[in-house]
Structure 1
Amino acid sequence: MQSSFIRKYLANKISCMYLLSGVFVVCTALLGLFISSVQYPIAMIIDVLSTKLFGLSFSESEGGKTAETIIWEIRYPRVLLAFLVGAALSLAGAAFQGLLRNPLADPYTIGVSSGASLGAVMVLYFQLTIPFLGSYTLPVIAIIGGFITMFIVFGVTHLSTRQLSIETIILAGIIVSSFISAIISLIISLSEREDVRQILYWLMGNVGMRGWSHVKLMIPFLLIGAIVLLSRSRELNAFALGEESAEHLGVDIQRSKLIILVGASLLTGAAVSVSGSIGFVGLVIPHFIRLLCGPNHRHVLPLSMLVGGGYLILADLVARTIIAPSELPIGVITSLIGAPVFALLLIRERIGRGSA
């Protein structure tokens, strides 16, 4: 009787979490569309979106082509891209934390973000344009840089231990990230003033001045990465018990590690390639979700995607309105919010353990 009540309570709690997360995403998306430094009536915004999405027009738009361009070509893809990037970083962070059994792990732990950043900085510094890629040169090179870094980390790990041990992966990631950061600093020091401003602004993270091309680039990588990681929730739950226990439960340790790392690295590389380095999203959001719904990755992964996407929309809204008409890099906002929040979460968890 008691176990049945507990199961029912937990099921209702999880259902409420999904409902609240969905409402949070919808509300932040609406705020992102309705609020900006350039104000338009809500009815006009709804009319433009309904016309473009469903071919239904409810009224004559007074703003003309200018309003339509700002709403459909600038504001809407910006909100959508913020959601996609936030969802990707949060999902990757949840996977890294589950795999490495470390609440301090995030998409940047194994150096994928640093590698993607280096690829993007090289494109900006050398003004590279691959003929058949055109404007896609920067995102594609950034993703390739992320994967190359991941393979270097795997190589260092394999040469040192012959296995993909968790501790060695973290140490190798820190070593490779430090080396790449030094290369990026060297490039910045050799750059002219105009290039330095552009590179630094990109490194601080931003989803502004992006368009549908970036959204279209991000969607397939998010879908592939999400399918890979969401299908591995059982393995991530098993890893929480330790590698030996996971192996006894029938998990192929090395293969599962590789698949999860590739999926999370794909998401991170794609996110960094379109938005730059945005910190603390993949660190704070999964940790926050675990505190609310428990450690079951069957729910932690999708809830992290929803809440992370909504959170980044909200952070972008703050970044573009707090000092309007100027904008702040979104990475600055996520760091200012994420660092103290994560510190409070850690203190709360330590206090909880101490009193238990």
Structure 2
Amino acid sequence: MAGSTGWSVPFGAEHDALARQILWDIRAPRGLGAWLAGALLGLAGAVAQGLFRNPLADPYLLGSSSGAALGVAACLAALGVGPAATGWAVRLGLTGAAFAGSVLAVLLTLTLARGVQHTLRLLLAGVVVGVVLGACSALTMLLVPDIMRAMQAFMLGTTGFLGWSAVQVMAPVCALTLCVAWGGARALDALSLGDATARSLGVRMGAVRVWLVGAMALATGTAVAQAGLISFVGLVAPHLVRGRVPGTQGAVLMLSALAGGLLLLAADTVARLVIAPQELPVGVLTAVLGGIYLLWRMHRMEASA
């Protein structure tokens, strides 16, 4: 119902063809794509927080978003296309490049942090990797100025270019990463008791971390490749779930994906209405609202302490 043309029932009127085109070719894939991107970010955030046993962990804090952005910039520079490209092959190529960059960033962060045992070192390493890879993305844009407009959309975060081709890429990735995360849920439950306890229960820590880091990187890279850098969704969605539905990691992972999808879909709708008929980049809106939410949570924690 949000959009520059308002809302009208797409049946029984002279403008049936135009109304159906607006509904099914623009609004439907954009809404479904926004939900899928939010679900991927929410799932990635829940995996990161469970895997690293840190409520502040977020796929972006480990440098994966900067790595994904660098992959997208390199792919745009090589292919010479923009974010409005509709072919599924182009979308798949952007997703593959973002996934490769995301995995590289996470592995580099873990290498610099010497594992996940030291939380402060891990977060600092993620900040360093994010800054360095962000500078590499900026250098790529400087060397290839033609991609600056395309990369601006990715940096701000937007769902305006989501079509059915993006949905066709994100839907199977979302299903795959949900299955991988669900398969590692019991290992995350054991890991919450500590590495030693998890090993004593028979959890193969090395294999579990590889699979879960891969799922997190794939989810983050896919969302970034299709919708750009949308912040705070991966951090806020698991917090909303844990605060209201305490349970096992399996329930937290599934509900975080659902909450992330609902958050981004709602934010996208609001972003289209705030300054209508113009649109506010949804990444800007989620950053503002997410920052306010976290400040409110910090205030409540201090008050209760």
Q: Give your verdict on TM over 0.5.
A: yes
Matched, 1:37 2:4: yes
User: Could you state the TM-score of these two structures normalised by the residue count of structure 2?
Assistant: 0.89
Does structure 2 retain, via aligned residues, the 8 Å contact 1:89–1:282? yes
Amino acid at match of 1:116: A
Q: Partner of 1:183 in structure 2?
A: 136
Larger Rg: 1
The C-alpha deviation readout for 1:229-287, integer Å capped at 9, x for no partner, is 02222111222222122222222222212211111111111111101110000011101
SS of the residue corresponding to residue 12 of structure 2 reads coil
Q: What is the CA–CA distance in structure 2 between the aligned matches of 1:132 and 1:209, rounded to whole Å?
A: 13
Distance 1:124 1:328, change over 3 A: farther
Q: Partner of 1:76 in structure 2?
A: 28
Q: Partner of 1:312 in structure 2?
A: 264
Does structure 2 retain, via aligned residues, the 8 Å contact 1:205–1:275? yes
More off after superposition, 266-275 vs 64-73: 64-73
Does structure 1 retain, via aligned residues, the 8 Å contact 2:106–2:217? yes
Does structure 2 retain, via aligned residues, the 8 Å contact 1:164–1:254? no
> 1:95 offset after TM fit, Å?
1.0
The C-alpha deviation readout for 1:15-58, integer Å capped at 9, x for no partner, is xxxxxxxxxxxxxxxxxxx22221232x32xxxxxxxxxxxxxx
Distance 1:222 1:132, change over 3 A: closer
Q: What is the CA–CA distance in structure 2 between the aligned matches of 1:135 and 1:303, rounded to whole Å?
A: 27
Distance 1:280 1:305, change over 3 A: same
SS of the residue corresponding to residue 301 of structure 2 reads helix
Q: What is the CA–CA distance in structure 1 between the aligned matches of 2:193 and 2:68, rounded to whole Å?
A: 32
Q: Partner of 1:147 in structure 2?
A: 103
User: Could you state the TM-score of these two structures normalised by the residue count of structure 1?
Assistant: 0.77
Distance 1:297 1:88, change over 3 A: same
SS of the residue corresponding to residue 102 of structure 1 reads coil
Q: What is the CA–CA distance in structure 1 between the aligned matches of 2:244 and 2:91, rounded to whole Å?
A: 41
Q: Partner of 1:25 in structure 2?
A: none
User: Unpaired runs of 5+ in structure 1?
Assistant: 1-33, 45-58
Q: Partner of 1:325 in structure 2?
A: 277
More off after superposition, 319-328 vs 212-221: 319-328
The C-alpha deviation readout for 1:83-142, integer Å capped at 9, x for no partner, is 00111100110111111111111111222211110111223345536x994454333322
Distance 1:255 1:136, change over 3 A: closer
Q: 1:124 aligns with which of 71, 76, 94?
A: 76
Q: Partner of 1:232 in structure 2?
A: 184
SS of the residue corresponding to residue 127 of structure 2 reads helix
The C-alpha deviation readout for 1:136-188, integer Å capped at 9, x for no partner, is 4333322222233334345x25xx74x55453544443332221011123234
Size of the aligned set, in residue pairs, is 299
Amino acid at match of 2:137: I
Q: What is the CA–CA distance in structure 1 between the aligned matches of 2:270 and 2:144, rounded to whole Å?
A: 31
Q: 1:290 aligns with which of 221, 242, 256?
A: 242
User: Unpaired runs of 5+ in structure 2?
Assistant: 82-86
The C-alpha deviation readout for 1:311-346, integer Å capped at 9, x for no partner, is 111100111121111111110010010001012113
Q: Partner of 1:218 in structure 2?
A: 170
Q: Partner of 1:343 in structure 2?
A: 295
Matched, 1:245 2:201: no
Q: 1:207 aligns with which of 154, 159, 164?
A: 159
Distance 1:61 1:238, change over 3 A: farther
Distance 1:62 1:230, change over 3 A: farther
